[in-house]
Chains A and B, each alone.
Chain A
């Protein structure tokens, strides 16, 4: 079936490094993608989003890249900090606004100082 998935279940980096978390999706009709961060014991927290008519969007220390040709998106975190340690999920919206999100299984980012 159609789903959003992540390439790596875990990623370990050193403080100050740049982190890249990848996600593949299978439905070329998906038109909206979101990255969420989930810290231990908390709910998913919105980080950044991107629409299918864009290929790059930047936030504070984060950048999302969308490659529709290969159905791939990535989350880049600059100067990774220990507070960035969490599970990161990509999610896609395959329908109209206000419809459910389909989540990938997540990548656990561990940042060591």
Chain B
């Protein structure tokens, strides 16, 4: 168990809908990262937050957004969903003592029908 908790584990929705994925980092970790994993693209970095502020952006679509709350949990919002958004979404966290090592949650599997 990495200590990173993601909910829900599975999400099935329809095109055009909006969903929210939730992540609780390891206790004390200030950095949260979101990644998307699809069969043909591997693990792709989406966005990073550090102590409530956006730190870096990767290949994140404008339809997607995220935030990190004062209690350090994070949410990834996906809107106007398309079939191609079906993927595994992972959250990872890292601490100030080992900022390179990222610990991953079990992921949320999103299926857009």
Interface residues of A (CB under 8 A from B): 32, 34, 36, 41-46, 49, 89, 91, 93, 97-106
Report how far A100 CA is from B43 CA in the complex, Å: 11
Report how far A36 CA is from B42 CA in the complex, Å: 13
Q: Are the C-beta atoms of A44 and B43 separated by less than 8 Å?
A: yes
**Across chains A and B, which 4 residue pairs bring their CB atoms closest together, nearest first?**
A97-B99, A43-B104, A98-B99, A100-B45
Contacts of A104 in B (CB 8 A): 42
Contact residues of B between 65 and 107, Cβ < 8 Å to A: 90, 92, 94, 99-107
B4 to chain A: closest residue by CB? A43
Interface residues as binary, B42-78 with A (CB distance below 8 Å gives 1, 0 otherwise): 1111001010000110100000000000000000000
Interface residues of B (CB under 8 A from A): 2, 4, 31, 33, 35, 42-45, 48, 50, 55-56, 58, 90, 92, 94, 99-107
Contacts of B102 in A (CB 8 A): 34, 46, 101
Report how far A41 CA is from B33 CA in the complex, Å: 19
Q: Are the C-beta atoms of B100 and A34 separated by less than 8 Å?
A: yes
Q: Between A and B, how many residue pairs show CB distances below 8 Å?
A: 59
Report how far A44 CA is from B101 CA in the complex, Å: 11
Considering residues A91, A97, A100, A101, which has the most beta carbons from chain B within 10 angstroms of its beta carbon?
Answer: A100
Interface residues of chain B: helix, strand, loop or mixed (majority): strand
Considering residues B55, B56, B101, B107, which has the most beta carbons from chain A within 10 angstroms of its beta carbon?
Answer: B101
Other-chain residue from A32, A43, A91, A98 in contact with B55 (beta carbon distance below 8 A): A98
Contacts of B92 in A (CB 8 A): 43-44
